[in-house]
Amino acid sequence: MSTIVITTTEQAEAFMKVLMAEKKAAREDNYASERARPIRWMSCTCCGESYQGRQWWNMDTGYGLGDCCVDRCGASRTPDTESETYGVAGIHFLIQATGEEVAPRQYTPDSELPTLSSLRGIAPECTDGVDSVDFVRNIRDQEPDNDQPIARARQIVSGYGDDGLPMNLVDILTDLMHLANFEEIDFDDMLGTAASHYQDETA
């Protein structure tokens, strides 16, 4: 996602004119231009969870109000009701409630999933026998279930950044190494324990 840097009053005024034009165009003909936008997988601006919706002019690219946080953010669930911040119910979020067909999610190919090769260089004894591709595939492919560890992991990882689930997972692991070092915790030992737990839970 690109960043717009505004340094002058003229630039700010020009940018506001663009936003106001988008705002006006979005509302014309019963949101005709908005309904024509493609439905895509987006990230909830509130919690980071993935959902299917349309881009709204007043939200950062790739972000919007997820179905999971409509009530939390005080947006209306009534179809065609606009929130200037989040868009229109049934058009930008809560699309599945309208019965409109949505495209299946496109997952990252297995060949592009991260491996534990970098970790094996740090803690080879702890990571022996752990198949990282299977581990990431489980997080990626299984349906959310709030009572399962995969659902908890998905929520944490998906909200950690903008680079997609696999790279977010790498970033989390890297940051955990920094934290463990700062707190003088043996990361190799913790990783070995986690690997043991994972093997027990998937046996």
Q: Which residues fall within 8 angstroms of residue 128, CB to CB, at 6 or more apart? A: 120
pLDDT at 120: 46
Nearest to 124 by CA among 183, 40, 188: 188
pLDDT at 86: 93
Burial label, 17 (beta-carbon count in 10 A; 0-12, 13-18, 19+): exposed
pLDDT category, 175, cuts 50, 70, 90? confident
Q: Which residues fall within 8 angstroms of residue 119, CB to CB, at 6 or more apart? A: 126, 127, 173, 191
Tens of pLDDT, residue by residue over 92-110, are: 999 875 556 555 555 555 5
Q: Percent of the chain having pLDDT more than 90?
A: 15
Q: Of all helices (H) and strands (E), which one includes residue 42?
A: strand 40-44
Predicted confidence (pLDDT) at residue 162 exceeds the cutoff of 60? yes
